[in-house]
Amino acid sequence: MKIALMGNPNVGKSTVFNALTGSNQQVGNWAGKTVERKSGVIQRANEQIELIDLPGTYSLTAYSQEEIVTREYILREKPDVVMALVDASNIERNLYLVLQILELAPRVVIGLNMMDLAKSAGIKILSNKLAQVLNVPVVEIVAAKGQGVEEFLSEAIRVGNLKKDPLRDEVPYPEELERRIQAMEHLLADTIWATKYPLRWLAIKRLERDSEIGQTWRSIPQTSKRSKNNDSCCESGDSIKYVLQDTDTLPGEDLLQAYEVEGWSKDKFEMTVADAKYQYISKILPEFRLHEGPIKRTWTDRLDEWILSPMWGYPIMLIILSLVFWCSFVASAPLGGAVSDGMAWAADMIVNLMQKVQVSDAIQSLVRDGIFAGVGAVLAFVPQIAIFFAFFSLMQDSGYLARAAFLGDRFMQLMGLHGKSFFSLVSGFGCNVPGIMATRTLEDPKDRLITMLINPLIPCVPRLGVMSAVVAAFFPGSLGAVIMISLLSLSMILVMFSAILLRRVVKQRERSAFVMELPLYHVPTLRNILLPTWQKTYSFLRRAWTFILVASIVVWVLSSYPQGVPMDETWAGKMGGWLAFIGQPLGFDWRIMVAIVFGFTAKETTLSTLGILYGVAADASQSIAQAMTGAMTPLGAYTFLVVYMLYIPCLASVVTTYKESHSIGWTSFGVAYNLLLSFVVGWLILHIGLFLGIQ
């Protein structure tokens, strides 16, 4: 059985989906789209169920990728049941999507979520009355507490096993519109499309001149032999395909042109249909929604008086983000140290065992100085990454992240960006890959592209970890905090500069307004925090044992052969010699240049490469940074930090940028821009420092 989970954004779909599927999830992208796809397998009794979590959307029109993906799935895949999740505290707006779902899917079950929040706001929903009015099963749910979720699934399974589709009343439209719908139904009744999609829905979409539907129709293999004035059929063996004589013409075009003369434009049809649905909702609403006394002010209202305040909102946001970064980078340090110590202990144990069985010195060096020195230095960042993503999931699930985007909109506007770009930039501090993927929330493709290109200028957790180790070695004490703040401030300035510059480079149409829903505050579930944290951390760990392991072995080989020669005469040394002319204007020796090159595979490998090239064992990242103190001055170290913070994004970020932008040209531009910007800014800092007499 195939079940689709649908609903508006922020109605608790993720909570329901995670509760039902647990760890049996697959996360990816919809084919040809940048919208995330989630699916999971559920086993109940003798029934195996595939649950598809469709993107949250407010309607099933064709104005965003989320709407197109959701609608196309219902049309093409025809799930056995649709589980429509509704926010009981905001039921009027949610029912608009439900009515659209009922036009497409014959088998639907409604889940009334957040019943506790509705009750606390003085709203009473009579679920049995709602079920009678729409002739749809309704289940009351409090997903955050796990109440009613299994009943919701059980009812969906029952409906999916019905022998016949239930009958429902159609939404009544104004008489004038109804005549036009019926006229279009008559024209489409004998076409192949009427056998595949609901006829009434097709007629309405044709009247609205829905462009996506036209493309959908053209792609459907046809089986009808019927011929009309504007269409014909041809047979090739047993396969009959529908052929349009005029590819720009669809059935009913003459009728639509006549309606245009009467003043019924595309927009008028669409607005009239939407208005009719809302009038119908307003008519039936009193039958099942009651107000128990005056509407009460909720905790959300009280908190938003402070959190969205022009005076207090920004200090609160600064405190929250500072706490997140402190916990991620400072409080996690002992955990990172424990991981480093554990890796060093494991390296010693394995090498001692290898010595007892008389394994060659080369293999011992590979294990100790290659694998453990490289991967061990990177695994020390796992606690930082896990803690950051846990806080990010906490802010997202609680409803605060949407408020942060609202507050950040003012700063985004200064850069010519959309307020939702704030999501991407904040995500970039954890990892640039999810930061780039977070641009999916932006409707305008130009806004998405600009935000993608500037995201790698945000230092991610691995980069911040390397930077903090170098800062601690060259700038001890409180000076280190000042240096880190100056680096992050420089990053923000260059993000703003780059965004303004790219606004001129990327030709952009009229900008879309910043419109987003602020969900109700609620206590996040432990599952909704731990599951995404584990998925993202596991993704990093998997990369550590692929990219970083291979890179560490390659670096060890390059730095160890030919054997018996000085380090600068090894293959890595010769590579560094070739790159020396690039690093010389910046004061970088060949080791730094080799580490920068290998940092392209993954930023974490920079630290492991430096550990191998400087001959530091896998005991602590701090030792690697201290080994660099003999190779450069504090000014040179600051220059390195600036270049490292800004230069070419990691391979995973480049691949993600290409997948999200579908453009090799813009991806290449982003790589070249970051590389050029980092070296230019680094050169300026070095020479300004030398001019001022700083060493």
Where is the binding site for Mg(2+), in residues?
A: 18-19, 21-22
Q: Contact 544/375 with Cβ under 8 angstroms?
A: yes
Bridging pattern class, strands 138-140 and 47-53:
unpaired
Nearest Cα to 191, choosing from 223, 238, 216?
223
50 backbone dihedrals φ, ψ, rounded to 5° = -100, 115
3-state DSSP assignment of residue 564: coil
> In which residue are the tokens 């300035």 written?
493
3-state DSSP assignment of residue 163: coil
Both tokens assigned to 343: 């890796």
Number of H helices, E strands in the chain: 33, 11
Nearest Cα to 583, choosing from 478, 461, 678?
678
* Residue numbering of the annotated binding site for GTP: 7-14, 32-36, 53-56, 113-116, 142-144
Fill in the DSSP letter of residue 648. Answer: S
Calpha distance 5→686 (Å, rounded) = 56
506 burial class (0-12, 13-18, 19+ CB within 10 angstroms)? Answer: middle
DSSP string over 366-382? IIIIIIIHHHHHHHTTH
Both tokens assigned to 62: 């064709």
Residue 16, number of CB atoms within 10 A of its CB:
26
DSSP string over 115-158? HHHHHHTTEEE-HHHHHHHHT--EEE-BGGGTBSHHHHHHHHHH
Calpha distance 428→453 (Å, rounded) = 12
Strand-pairing partners, residue 40, are: 25, 51
CA-CA-CA-CA dihedral for 55, 57, 62, 68, to nearest 10? 10
* Residue numbering of the annotated binding site: 7-14, 18-19, 21-22, 32-36, 53-56, 113-116, 142-144
Q: Contact 13/61 with Cβ under 8 angstroms?
A: no
Q: Contact 296/135 with Cβ under 8 angstroms?
A: no
Q: Contact 260/274 with Cβ under 8 angstroms?
A: no
Calpha distance 80→74 (Å, rounded) = 10
Q: Contact 51/5 with Cβ under 8 angstroms?
A: yes
N- to C-terminal Cα separation, the chain: 70
